Structure formats: C-alpha cells, structure tokens
Structure 1
Amino acid sequence: MVSSAFIGSSFIIKKKGLRKAGVSGPRASSGGYGYLLEPLWWIGMITMIVGEISNFVAYIYAPAVLVTPLGALSIIVSAVLAHFLLKEKLQKMGVLGCLLCIVGSTVIVLHAPEERSINSVEEIWELAIQPAFLLYTASVVAISLVLILYFSPRYGQTNILVYIGICSVIGSLTVMSIKAIGIAIKLTIEGINQAKYFQTWIFAMVDLGGGVHRHADLEGSDIHKDLK
C-alpha cells in the first residue's frame, strides 16, 4: 500500500514537472528534453523509485498473487490526486475503472491460493523451465515484439493501449523474476548464498531488461498523452 501511494503520487508530480518544462521550452511530445532539467520531474522520479523499492520488499515477504493486485491501488491514488492537484475531472468511465480496480483486486486477494514454500532460486528455475511456462514465455516475447516493432511506431502516438499492452505482457514475466530475486536476497542475508547460481543472474537480467522496457513505455505514454 505504501508502494502504491508513492508510485501513484509520482505520476502526478512528474506530470506537473512536464507541464512546467513545457511552458519554458519545447514540449516532450515534440521531442524536447527540458523536463530533464526540471527539479519537480526528478522529485517525481525519486518518488517512483522509492515506491518501486517498497514494492520489491513486498514481493520478498508476501505472495506475488497478493502483492500484484494491490499495486492497482496506485491507479486510485493517481486518479484522486489528479482530480485535486491537476484539476482533471474524473469522468464516469474513469470512476467505473477505479471501481473495477478495487473490486478486481479484492476478489483476487480474497481467493488467492496459498503460496508454495520456495527455498532457493533453483526451485523457481525448475518451475520456470516447465513446457507450459516456456510456451507462455515464447508467446509473451512474440506479442511484445509485435507491439514494439509494428504497433508502437504506427499507433503509439494516438492509442495508449499500445504502451499498456507492452508493459502488461512484459510485466507478467518480470513479476516472477522479481519474486526470484527477492527470495535470493532474503536467503543470502540469512546465510545461504544465492549469487553462486547462474539462475539468479538470469532472473536479474530479465528484471533489468523488463524494467527498462516498461519504464521507457510508461515514460513515452506519459509524455505524449499528458502534453499533446
């Protein structure tokens, strides 16, 4: 919940920074980079980093099936703050969307299965190389490439669903990797070194690559949809 509060707030702070930068120079939607010199934008970025760190800690100590849906609370935080701080009126569809987020998250949390006890990164790796999951991974990679290479250049500037789709499908894989890295850190602190396993570094690379893509897509959608 703390993570959702920070992440939800960060979008509002960054948008105020983008607006302020757009007044004094070329807008980000026009290719301008003035927002990188705007302190308010960096405050929003730092707020997001704090939120992501909090989210990472949650994955270490709580089941992913509980942490992930609670992340939807960041949408509610953003919507409420946008109404009061950015003077953006929340339309009926927006209110409905917020309610669906709350209902959906509640249903998932209430009916979430108990998490299997994992004692090492190797156990997660064994689950990750099962044929069914490998087929899902291949599907995610294929869909992501189509969205990035075909749909993004053609429709990315007019339809935010392209960016949301990229973030969502990549995020479905990085969630598992984040959980693996969280367990690795926890076990290493407890005295069971997980850095010696190559699987740990593979999960770390998946997290890094997925995080870069998700941030770039979110930033791109934030820039062109907020300022255009």
Structure 2
Amino acid sequence: MITMIVGEIANFVAYAFAPAVLVTPLGALSIIVSAVLAHFILNERLHALGVLGCVMCIAGSMVIVIHAPLEQEITSVKEIWHMATQPSFLLYVASVIVLVSVLVFHFSPLWGQSNVLIYTAICSLMGSLSVMSVKALGTSLKLTFEGTNQLAYPETWFFMLVVAICVLTQMNYLNKNWEYEHQI
C-alpha cells in the first residue's frame, strides 16, 4: 500500500513536469510490472489473454509516446483554464458526465453486481477527466513553487475540486469492482 501511494504521488508530480500524453501511457505500464511481479513473486499464472493484454499495453504505450505532440510551456493556470473552456473540450466533459451519470444511476443498480464492465467504464471515464485535472493542478502547484503564485486564482481551486471528485468516484467504483471480482 505504501509503494502504491508513493507511486501515485510520483505520478502526480510527473504530470506537472511532463506532457500528459507521455505520463498516462507510461503509467499504464505499471499494469505490466504488476503482472510480471505477480507471476514471479506470488506464483500467479498469466494466461494467454493476459499476455496478449500486456503486449497490447506495451505496443500502445510505445505508439503513443513515439507520436506524442510537443507540449507548449504553460505560464499560468489562466492558460489552462482558457484551453479547458474551449467549446470542443466542454462538449467532451459534458458527454463524459452524461455517460457516467447514466452508468451510475441506470446501469450500475441493474447490472453492476453482475457485469464488471459497468464499474470499469465509470472509472475509465472519470479517469479521463482526472488526468486532465491533475495535469492542471500539478502545473499550478509547480508554478506556485517556482514563485508564481497560482493559488490566488479560483481556477486552481476548481481543478482541485474536480480532482477530488474524480478520485473519490474512481476509488468508490474501483472498490466495487474489487468486491465484484472477489465474489467470483
């Protein structure tokens, strides 16, 4: 548990110093490390689909990292806010919120206990918002520590609230997902 917490803190810091398009796929490689460690340390057997999933994860991460666009230097949380309030991004956020709401209030009570994909979809969709919010919050904190106080802007606090909501939602449904898997 301690190493997971340290890893997540390091992941959060990485978003402040590197483009999210690089940090996210490289963070997904922790799944591969966990699978390999479970095989050698816990003597768990990795089935053919598990191996295929690991290979696809590595290949996908490599493709994303190789073709990642350059990220512009951000000097203020106001710049992030400007990008986050573009109509196309707001449409994306609204779509995610609608999908998560439908999954939480309609599908989760009906099939959540019998279909792991419901909880996984909720976590994944919320994860897409939390990655973007963590990037904004991490950049704000980095700029603050460098001497340009971003905590005076309400946008920083808004991103912090979004991170908290996304993380709490993900933790809740990851826990439900874990409970589902251990019932089987």
TM class by shorter chain equals: over 0.9
Q: What is the CA deviation profile of residues 50-102 of structure 1, one whole-angstrom value per residue up to 9, with x for unaligned ones?
A: 11101001111111000000111111122222323443321111111110000
1:108 aligns to 2:64 (yes or no): yes
Offset from partner CA, 1:123-159 (integer Å, 9 cap, x none) = 0000111111111110000000111112222222222
Partner residue of 1:78 out of 22, 30, 34: 34
Gapped regions of structure 2 (runs ≥ 5): none
Find the aligned partners of 1:226 and 1:87 in 2 and give their Cα distance. 18
Q: Could you tell me which of 201, 208, 213 is aligned with 2:169?
A: 213
Shift of residue 227, structure 1, vs aligned partner: 4.6
Q: Which residue of 1 aligns with 2:73?
A: 117
Specify which structure has the bigger relative contact order, considering alpha-carbon pairs within 8 angstroms and separated by 6 or more residues: 2
Q: Which moved more, 1:81-90 or 1:189-198?
A: 81-90
Over 6 Å off, 4+ runs: none
Aligned to 2:157: 201
Identity of aligned residues (%): 58
- Quick one: which amino acid aligns to residue 62 of structure 1? A
Deviation larger for 87-96 or 58-67: 87-96
Change (3 A) 1:158 1:80: farther
Question: Aligned match of 1:137 in 93, 108, 112?
Answer: 93
* Aligned residue in 1 for 2:22: 66
Structure 1: unaligned runs, 5 residues or longer: 1-43
Distance (Å, rounded) in 2 between the aligned partners of 1:160 and 1:82: 22
RMSD: 1.3
* Maintained 8 Å contact 2:137/2:156: yes
Q: Is the 8 A contact 2:116 2:180 kept in 1?
A: no
Are 2:84 and 1:128 equivalent residues in the alignment?
yes
Decide which moves more: 82-91 or 132-141: 82-91
What is the TM-score normalised by the length of structure 1?
Answer: 0.77
Aligned length in residues: 184
